[in-house]
Structures are given as structure tokens and as C-alpha cells.
Amino acid sequence: MDHLIEKALALLESGETIVLPTETVYGLAASAQNEEAIKKIYKIKNRPSFNPLISHYAEISEIEKDVYLDSKAKKLLEHFSPGPLTLVLNKKKNSRICDLATANLNTAAVRIPDNEITLEILKQFKGPVAAPSANYSTELSPTKKEHVEKSLGDKVSLIIDGMQAEHGIESTILDLSTNKAVILRFGTITSQDLEEVLGQKIYLKDDDGNIKAPGMLLRHYAPKCKLRLSTESPHENEALLAFGEKNIPQGFKEIKNLSSREDLAEVAKNLFSYIHELEEKGYESIAVMKIPNQGIGIAINDRLKRASNDLNT
């Protein structure tokens, strides 16, 4: 492990990209202070440069060097970090995060991921490490090392194995850069969780009128095969992602259960990984049973909607 950490640090320091595991999805990481390294991230992912990156840290005191942390932001970070919460905050003038990493915005997204080896690397590296999900832009995020190998495999010099990502979907993004606290992306930390800690109303991006997470404008999280949010009349060569044990429709080539005990955290953990697996097996489409739209279900349905061919944006 020490050897791996040293190798990771040397690569980050020399402006290379590496793949790091996190509790949400695997990230394609590079030093956020190094514009040339950040250029590599955009290029490898084929990501439009107007879509800013999240900077990762091991400590709140390091975050505070780059963005303004008010009492609300501190409270949330202290409560949820390390963990799947990203905050969008105003950048300091002398912020170490380069302009390219934040797509020239005055704000920066920051988080402390919950993964032992990644935290150790971030702790020793000290500076901000930008890491978008380690997939081609618009495709499905990787939740296992093998998913990364299959796609970006030959484009990165090191992929650190962190086993299957515990949460399985990307972090919740909360914008605290204005007076209103606005959720820009749903994740396993829900708006109720945030409201409880903050004691303040949390707005959803639709309430706010305009979408502020540029990446959310795109069709996203899309598998290569077709994803159907209906289970009526199974298509030819179609697999089913089931939920619960009741009323599972029949007639599909294969059925995988996202959670037979109807546990939404388990659904989130399995979702991308099962889609990767079924896609690999060559099914033409995947039908998904209805997932309750509450709690973590809101984030799951958000990803399903974006991944399905229903979405034209």
C-alpha cells in the first residue's frame, strides 16, 4: 500500500492523471493547481471545458485555503465529511485551484471523499486534487476498477483498486455560493438530511429557475444499450432490473434484482454496476422496474431518467 501511495503521489506531482477510488464512483484525478494536468483530464474524458471539476481534499483546513467557508459550509462539512457531499463555494482570490479546473467560474466545488487509500493520498499531497468521474463524458460512471479498465484503461498510468464503491452514485452537490442553499445534483445524502443539519430550507435546482451545474445540462450517465423506464411487453433481447420481490414481470432474457429487500441504498450501490454488467453481456435494452421517488430514490430516478433514451437534451 505504501508503495502504491508513493507512486500515486509521484504521478500527481509530475502532472499526470491517475484513477482513484471513492465511496461514490471512481475519479480521474490530477493536481487542481496544474493547468497542464487539468487539460489532460478534459482531453481524456472528452469533456467540454465549460463543465467544471470537483476538487478533492483530506481536510477542511486545506479546503479553506481555496474557498470561503462560512459557518453553514463548515457545519455541513464537519457533519458529512468524509462522505458523499460536494459544496459549491466562492473561490478565494489566491485559490490554488486553477481557472481551467473551475471552468473560469468564481465558484469551486469541493469535497472530502470517504475512501481510506484515497484519503491517505490526498492527505500527503495536501493540495486540491480535481477528479471527475473516470468515464468518457456522458457515459456511465465506474463503480469498480474493471469498469475503468474497460473504458479509460489505456489512457491512464495508474488505477488504484478500491473494490466496489459503497454508494455507487455520484455525490450530492449543494450550492452554498449565494444566500440560498440549492441542490444541483441529487445523491445519497438527501435534501432532508441537509435540512436537518442546516436547520434551513434547501432549494432544488428547479425551484431556483436556472440550472447551475453545467454538467447536468447534458444527457448523462448513459449506457450504450437502450434503457427503458417501463417493464410493459418485454422487448426482444432485453434484461430486467427488478426491485423488491413482488410483481416482478416475466418474459425477460435475464433478471437482476437491484434490491430484493427494497433497500434504496442497496439499489444505488448496485445500479451502475448492474447496468455495466448487462451492457457487457450484449443485451439490446434494459427495462427497469419503478423505484419509489423518495429519499435516495430521488437521486436514483434522476440518474435513470438521464440514462434512458427518453431524454433528448
Where do contacts with Mg ion occur on this chain (CB under 5 A)? 133
**Which grid coordinates are listed for 140?**
456511465
Choose the stretch contacting ligand TXA; rule: CB under 6 A; options: 30-38, 150-158, 189-197, 208-216: 208-216
Q: How far apart are CA 248 and CA 274, in angstroms?
A: 17
Choose the stretch contacting ligand TXA; rule: CB under 6 A; options: 62-70, 212-220, 226-234, 292-300: 212-220
Q: How far is the CB of 248 from ligand TXA (least distance, A)?
A: 31
Q: How far is the CB of 6 from Mg ion (least distance, A)?
A: 28
Choose the stretch contacting ligand TXA; rule: CB under 6 A; options: 32-40, 101-109, 234-242, 258-266: 101-109
Residue 62 or 306: which CB sits closer to Mg ion?
306
Contact 23, 115 (CB under 8 A): yes
* Count, residues near ligand TXA per rule CB under 6 A: 29
Q: Which residues, including other chains, have CB under 8 Å from residue 161's CB and lie 6 or more apart?
A: 21, 145
CA 38 to chain centre: 18
Q: How far is the CB of 13 from ligand TXA (least distance, A)?
A: 20
Q: How far is the CB of 34 from ligand TXA (least distance, A)?
A: 17
User: What is residue 46's DSSP assignment?
Assistant: T
Q: How far apart are CA 120 and CA 135, in angstroms?
A: 23
Coil, strand, or helix at residue 264?
A: helix
Residue 239: what are its φ and ψ, rounded to 5°? -105, 160
Question: Does 86 participate in binding ligand TXA (rule CB under 6 A)?
Answer: yes
Contact 83, 189 (CB under 8 A): yes
- Show contacts with ligand TXA in window 15-74 (CB under 6 A): 22, 24-25, 27, 51-54
Question: Does 170 participate in binding ligand TXA (rule CB under 6 A)?
Answer: yes
Coil, strand, or helix at residue 159?
A: strand
Contact 77, 84 (CB under 8 A): no
Residue 168 or 244: which CB sits closer to ligand TXA?
168
Contact 28, 44 (CB under 8 A): yes
Choose the stretch contacting ligand TXA; rule: CB under 6 A; options: 125-133, 150-158, 191-199, 260-268: 125-133
Q: How far is the CB of 240 from Mg ion (least distance, A)?
A: 26
Q: How far is the CB of 187 from ligand TXA (least distance, A)?
A: 7
Which option in ligand TXA, Mg ion, none does residue 18 bind, with CB closer than 5 to 8 A by kind?
none
Q: How far is the CB of 10 from ligand TXA (least distance, A)?
A: 21
Residue 133 or 270: which CB sits closer to Mg ion?
133
Q: Note the residue count of the chain.
A: 313
Contact 118, 21 (CB under 8 A): yes
The residue among 231, 232, 222 whose CA lies nearest residue 305 is 222
The residue among 128, 62, 63 whose CA lies nearest residue 101 is 128
Question: Does 108 participate in binding ligand TXA (rule CB under 6 A)?
Answer: yes
The site for ligand TXA (CB under 6 A) is made up of: 22, 24-25, 27, 51-54, 84, 86, 88, 102, 105, 107-109, 113, 131-133, 170-171, 173, 184, 212-216
